[in-house]
Structure 1
Amino acid sequence: MGLMGVRQVFDARLRPLINPPLNACGRALARAGISANAVTLAGLVPAIGAGLSIAYGHTLAALALIVLNRVLDGLDGAVARVRGSTDFGGYLDILADYVFYLAVPLGFAFAAPDNAIPALVLVASFTLTAVSFLAFAALAAKRGQTDSAHGAKSFLYSTGLAEGGETIAVFIAMCLWPAAFAWLAWGFAALCGLTVIQRSVMARHTFG
């Protein structure tokens, strides 16, 4: 079984474990009148807080805020499944995700001058993966293509080597071993580069 097959099997086995508690919390929030967009916006607080905590050297606090942000990121989808999803909600969700993805490396850049170059390269790699991801999604939407591999989403999520789960794992490692930030940043930036190449090949086969 290839890497993508392993990832899909892992995702398929993980969802039945995490979806029930998330959906239960989502139903409770929806009954309380809280919208999915409100949950998404609330997630910006720990996202920015994680970056600030890292900048001031509090990486364990940042780790807790990263986990909180990801829980809220799952909850907004659970609320949306109850109250109904919107196109603006999908837009806001992606925007909030990338605020989070940029806050962490920027925090490390401010924490130590030696981190600045690898943080810059990591941010640049995130930009390229975002462009490839969103361009693929836009073209897939134009053709009416959807899938359910990542759960109910506002648009198609194209698979890549570096996705959300891998990013969170690297961020956690950075917080646990901040002295290894540069090595982790360079390595994950390379993985993002491979993802862009992989997605470009996929786009050529899909849209060519």
Structure 2
Amino acid sequence: MLDRPLRAVLARPVDAIARVLDRRWISPNGLTMTGLALGVAAAVAAGLQWWWAALALWLVSRVVDGLDGALARLRKADGRAGESEAGGFLDITADFVAYGATVVGVAVGATAGFAALWWPFLLVLFAYYINGTAFLAFSSIAERTGRTIDDGRSLSFLGRIAEGTETIVVHSLWFIMPFWAAPIAVVWAALVAVSAVQRMIAGYRALR
């Protein structure tokens, strides 16, 4: 609701900062990854209950994240390397990783002493979040650019080690062996996270 009016207000100062950052050794993708690193650092700080540090890191990460697109558009307008589909994919995926990471960090920090009850499942949720973002963002951009993957599904799905069948099996194991649910969740979260990283890399390369 507030994105459009806020963008209008901040357009000029953001463009001005982008011009200051327009140096050969600074790239839009580099800014994206810097924003991601700062967002994850904010999540870690929150988990350690360093709340003011977390707030500072989070705000700086979002400022940096807002500059990658501005720098790309500036270079495109000047006839240099500018916005790319791969960069857009990387940006939205990094955003959702940062968002999910901070949710986990705040949950750990705000409920210290009780995390043992739910943290394995929260890791699974975090992995699902990243994984879903990667393949949904790829599917959307691939559709728009005519680079779809047609395997009979409605989306352009980047298949990897954790897919629908594996998900059904793991969820069934939770019901069958609830006393092992937490260890299963840890292993499953790791597998889904690996799949998410694989999809991010594959999607970025496919859209370059």
Counterpart residue number, 2:171: none
Mapped contact 2:45–2:53 kept (Cα < 8 A) = yes
| Matching residue's letter, 1:59 | W
Q: How many residues align?
A: 137
Unpaired segments of 5 or more residues in structure 1? Answer: 1-6, 146-208
How many Å separate the matches in 2 of 1:76 and 1:142?
21
What's the CA shift string for 1:129-177, capped at 9, x where partnerless?
Answer: 66666666555545539xxxxxxxxxxxxxxxxxxxxxxxxxxxxxxxx
What's the CA shift string for 1:2-25, capped at 9, x where partnerless?
Answer: xxxxx2xx4332221011111111
Counterpart residue number, 2:62: 70
Mapped contact 2:93–2:130 kept (Cα < 8 A) = no
- 5 Å-filtered alignment, 1:1-208, equals 7=1, 10-31=2-23, 33-83=25-75, 84-111=82-109, 112-115=112-115, 137-138=137-138, 140-141=140-141, 144=144
How many Å separate the matches in 2 of 1:92 and 1:57?
29
How many Å separate the matches in 1 of 2:136 and 2:93?
17
| The structure with more radius of gyration | 2
Deviation at 1:76, TM superposition (A): 0.7
Aligned in 2, Cα 1:22/1:119: closer, same or farther, shift over 3 Å?
farther
How many Å separate the matches in 1 of 2:97 and 2:141?
24
How many Å separate the matches in 1 of 2:138 and 2:89?
12
Deviation at 1:55, TM superposition (A): 1.8
Percentage of matched positions with identical amino acids: 36
**Scaled by the length of structure 1, what TM-score is found?**
0.53
| Matching residue's letter, 2:90 | L
SS in 2 for 1:76: helix
**Scaled by the length of structure 2, what TM-score is found?**
0.53
| Matching residue's letter, 1:114 | F
Unpaired segments of 5 or more residues in structure 2? Answer: 76-81, 146-208
| Matching residue's letter, 1:144 | R
Mapped contact 1:51–1:105 kept (Cα < 8 A) = yes
